Amino acid sequence: MNSKLKISSAFDGGNINLIEANAPSNIRVNIPLDTNSHFFQWFYFRLQGAMGEECRIYFDNASEAAYAEGWHDYQAVASYDREYWFRVPTEYVDGKLVICHTPEQDSVYYAYFAPYSYERHLDMLAWASSQDNCLSHDIGTTAEGRDITLLEIGKTQALAKNIWIIARQHPGETMAQWFIEGLLERLCDESHPIARALLEQCRFYIVPNMNPDGSIHGNLRVNSKGINLNREWQTPTEELSPEVLAVQNKMTEIGVDLFLDIHGDETLPVNFVDGCRNIPAFDQRIADMESLFSGTLLAVSPDFQVVKGYDNDYFGDETLKIASKWVGQTYKCLSLTLEMPFKDNELLPDSEVGWSPERSKILGADILYPIYQVVNSPSMKSDL
């Protein structure tokens, strides 16, 4: 190894294996497997000792990643201060992902997407708990002993609609928690009319991070047991998927009138929602609410679109194991998976940052508009 160059990832969310770094132009790494799993794609590491050097960082095993097709047209993110993350030139050639970047400082961090740390998660929970109308519930414990936290926000109990929103079942999809941060800030803004109106009509039940163990391990898809939580909704267990079981138990107790599950998509360069058209319970009422939700979000956010998304049979036999489908089938309510891109929104691209924490937060705040529309629609009111 070049005596100056150093690669490290022994920190919260860090994930890389160094193969060799004998020159800035020949740094070779592998992305390690998720814990107890065959999935991998999330990377996050620090490079030191290459200031002013034209670096080429080769990801030798990129073609075996969970969504190798997602590397096409993908640009990695970098940061010097771990606050501002910008895109750096990245190629996918001959089965290898290559970051081509000349660091301006001695220390630079690279990641698959802007990380969302466990400390920031705890800060978010502490901030939210200090807001009026917000309660924090400890609903369970992960396999490694971390709290599974549910935030409850609302002003009223009488005839309140129960709105459930969960994020980061897939821990590497950090944009999902940035989205929740924006949503919470809007919802707790006491002068915002949408927040004020919704809190009179609804109670929000929000799980900002479904998979804290996987987040800390730097996993893309699974918890510390190697379990993909978004295939566990038909048969969750205390041993393998306590995160899902804890949420389902609370749903049984409280009820569900609307459900959103927030994700990131490795491949599609757009924001989209995936509904319940392929579940047995799907009917005109749910279809109407899906159309109203999408139409409203389309009207308020040029970052949303309805042309690209998953095909009807995308999940095949696994359909009812997916959170949004299981909730839709069980509670016969509007139930959506919302996907944001790892790349960028090709309809409104930003070459500097791509899809970003800031843009995820804005979409998270804007999501209150379609919720407000649906909550006040005849389809929703008919079952009061």
Which residues bind to Zn ion, rule: CB under 5 A? Answer: 170, 173, 263
CB of 223 within 8 A of CB of 211?
yes
253 is catalytic: no
- How far is Cα 146 from Cα 123, in angstroms, rounded to an integer? 15
C-alpha distances in Å from residue 356, one per residue of 3, 38, 217, 340, 364: 34, 27, 22, 10, 12
Single out the catalytic residue among 339, 346, 352, 358: 339
> Min. distance of Cβ 268 from Zn ion in angstroms?
12
Shortest distance, CB of residue 172 to Zn ion, whole angstroms? 8
Through-space distance between the first and last CA atoms of the chain, rounded to whole angstroms: 67
- Tell me, what DSSP letter sits at residue 62? G
Q: How far is the CB of 65 from Zn ion (least distance, A)?
A: 14
Looking at residue 34, what DSSP letter applies? P
CB-nearer residue toward Zn ion: 230 or 296: 230
Q: Kindly give, in sequence order, each residue whose CB lies less than 8 Å from that of residue 299, ignoring residues fewer than 6 positions away.
A: none
- Residue with Cβ nearer Zn ion (179 or 372): 179
Q: What gap in Å lies between CA 368 and CA 192, rounded to an integer?
A: 11
Question: Of the two residues 161 and 170, which places its CB atom closer to Zn ion in the complex?
Answer: 170
Q: How many CB atoms lie within 10 A of CB 381?
A: 10
CB of 228 to Zn ion, least distance (A): 9
Phi-psi region of 265 (alpha: psi -120 to 50; beta: other; left: phi over 0): beta
Sign of dihedral through CA atoms 219, 220, 226, 228? Answer: positive
Q: What six digits make up the tokens of 371?
A: 């919720």
- Nearer Cβ to Zn ion (109/112): 112
State phi, psi for 307 to the nearest 5 degrees: -80, -45
What does the angle CA 109 – CA 110 – CA 115 come to, to the nearest 5 degrees? 90
Residue number, 173 or 366, with CB nearest to Zn ion: 173
Question: Min. distance of Cβ 170 from Zn ion in angstroms?
Answer: 4
Residue located via tokens 């629609």: 377
CB of 158 vs Zn ion, minimal distance in Å: 36
User: C-alpha angle 140/113/173, rounded to 5°?
Assistant: 35
Picking from 14, 12, 79, 83, the residue whose alpha carbon sits closest to that of residue 44 is 14
Q: Which is nearer to Zn ion, 24 or 218 (CB)?
A: 218
Distance CA 130, CA 100 (A): 44
Smallest gap from residue 214 Cβ to Zn ion (A): 11
H or E element in which residue 57 lies: strand 55-59
Determine the 3-state secondary structure of 146 from DSSP: coil
Residue among 203 and 263 whose Cβ is closer to Zn ion? 263
CB 99 → Zn ion: shortest distance, Å?
A: 24
Evaluate whether 203 touches 162 at the Cβ level (below 8 Å): yes
> Cβ closer to Zn ion: 61 or 169?
169
Give the residue numbers marked as catalytic. Answer: 339
